[in-house]
Structure 1
Amino acid sequence: MQEDYRKFYSHHLGRDIEMLVYGNWGYPIVLFPTSMGHYYEYKDFGLTETARWFVETGKVKLYCIDSIDRDSWYAKHLHPGTRIWNHVLYDRFLHEEFVPSVQRECNVQKIGVSGASFGGYHALNFAFRHPEQVGHLLTMGAAFDIRSFLGGYYDENVYFNNPPDFLPNAQNNEFYHMNIVLGTSEYDFCKDSNYQLSGILSRKGIRHQLDVTPWGNHDWPVWKDQFPRYLSMI
């Protein structure tokens, strides 16, 4: 399985974002790491290996990118307003710089986004903020309400990056053309968050699948089982 290491310089962030890219061609899937994880995390835990057949047959092309969680949601040394602003800059990097480059490279109008745990938050938040760029959303063991990270601080940027807040009022026809899978498991401590998000989508008439793996918990064996199954739905 072809693996390429890349750096992508972001003008919004003023830094390089590192990544591993798997495959020569195929439908692009951007994978966001778990809490404070790095671009090589999915390789280290064997999740990219579960996608080997899809990559080697040219079905998908995986982009495992870095996060800036240590400078945003988990940067307890910074004021909450600064933390959320740093995430806004990360979103601008994705929306205006990185995703357009992936669209051009793969000659597609829309990409897929995915992630486990906090990576699932990143995937879903980006998908519903920018549905014109996302055709497939695949989350695994994610939670979606980020207010607990901010110690009671709240502003417009928090609202528009907290899906349980902004989604009920959001209107976009592209929501109804997205393939959405919310993956959780029976003993996942994030399960209730997935049921809550599923309820919001159902009330808006947005087609999606809530997939609950029996007996599983919030851990890599579940996500490694879910990821290739969800890729097969593309």
Structure 2
Amino acid sequence: MQERYIKYYSHHLGADNEMLIYGNWGYPVIVFPTTMGRYYEAKDFKLIESARGHIESGKVKIYCPDSIDKYSWYGKHLHPSERVQNHNYYDQYLNEELIPAIMNECNVSKVAVAGCSFGGYHAANFAFRHPDKVSHLFTMGAAFDIRSFLGDYYDDNVYFNNPPDYLPNADNSNLWQMDIVLGTCNADFCKPENERLSKILAHKHINHWLDIRWHGTHDWDIWREMFPDYLNKI
């Protein structure tokens, strides 16, 4: 299984970003790390290994970019307005730098995005904000409401990064074309968040799969089972 490491400068972030890429060819899947996780997290916790068959067969090509959580949602040393703005820079980096480069490299018009736990928030928020660039969304043990990170602070930037707030008013036609899986399990503390988001999607008649058939807790063991199963949908 081919692994490639790259380090590159992002103009939107004003800093270098690092990434691991798995596979020679295949449909591109961007996997976001969990809370303040690094680009190598999916490898270390064997999420990549769980998808080895899909990668080696050329079905998918997996991209694992770094996060900037410590300067955004988890940057408690910064004012909430600055933290949200930093996430907007990250969103611009994804939307205007990384994703277009990946689409060009793989010769596709859309990509798949995925993530476990807080990585699932990143995947969902990007997918719902930019559905014109996303064909598949796979979240595993994710939570989607970001307001608890910011105390009483709220502005338009918070609204447009909080899927339970902006999704009810979203009307991009690509949302109804996306293949969406919300994966959770019976004892996951994030299960209510998945059920809440599922109700929002159902109210808008957006097709999706709320997958609650798993037995376990909020842990990598479950996510390593979910991930290759969801990749079968590509």
TM-score, scaled relative to structure 2 = 0.99
1:221 aligns with 2:216: no
Percent identity, please: 64
1:155-181 Cα deviation digits (max 9, x unpaired): 000000000000001111100110000
Within-5 A mapping of 1:76-87 = 76-87=76-87
1:189-218 Cα deviation digits (max 9, x unpaired): 000000000000000000000101332110
Deviation of 1:141 (Å): 0.2
In 2, the alpha carbon distance for the partners of 1:132 and 1:215 equals: 34
In 1, the alpha carbon distance for the partners of 2:182 and 2:147 equals: 20
Match of 2:108 in 1: 108
Match of 1:94 in 2: 94
Secondary structure in 1 aligned to 2:5?
A: strand
Match of 2:136 in 1: 136
Letter in 2 for 1:180: I
In 2, the alpha carbon distance for the partners of 1:104 and 1:215 equals: 39
In 2, the alpha carbon distance for the partners of 1:52 and 1:149 equals: 35
Deviation of 1:233 (Å): 1.2
Match of 2:167 in 1: 167
Query: Are the counterparts in 2 of residues 213 and 222 from structure 1 also a CA contact under 8 Å?
Result: no
In 2, the alpha carbon distance for the partners of 1:73 and 1:151 equals: 11
Match of 2:204 in 1: 204
- Structure 2, gaps ≥5 residues long: none
Match of 2:145 in 1: 145
In 2, the alpha carbon distance for the partners of 1:49 and 1:210 equals: 25
In 2, the alpha carbon distance for the partners of 1:23 and 1:65 equals: 15
Secondary structure in 1 aligned to 2:215?
A: strand
In 1, the alpha carbon distance for the partners of 2:177 and 2:24 equals: 27
Letter in 1 for 2:215: W
Deviation of 1:17 (Å): 1.1
In 2, the alpha carbon distance for the partners of 1:211 and 1:12 equals: 35
Query: Are the counterparts in 1 of residues 27 and 59 from structure 2 also a CA contact under 8 Å?
Result: yes
Secondary structure in 2 aligned to 1:217?
A: coil
Deviation of 1:8 (Å): 2.7
1:55-107 Cα deviation digits (max 9, x unpaired): 00100000011100000000000000000000000000000010000000000
- Structure 1, gaps ≥5 residues long: none
Query: Are the counterparts in 2 of residues 34 and 115 from structure 1 also a CA contact under 8 Å?
Result: yes
1:83-138 Cα deviation digits (max 9, x unpaired): 00000000000000100000000000000000000000000000010000000000
1:14-66 Cα deviation digits (max 9, x unpaired): 11111110001000000000000000001101110011011001000000111
In 2, the alpha carbon distance for the partners of 1:172 and 1:112 equals: 17
Letter in 2 for 1:205: H
Match of 2:177 in 1: 177
Secondary structure in 2 aligned to 1:197?
A: helix
Match of 2:120 in 1: 120
In 1, the alpha carbon distance for the partners of 2:8 and 2:189 equals: 34
Provide the aligned length of Structure 1 versus Structure 2: 234
1:55 aligns with 2:55: yes
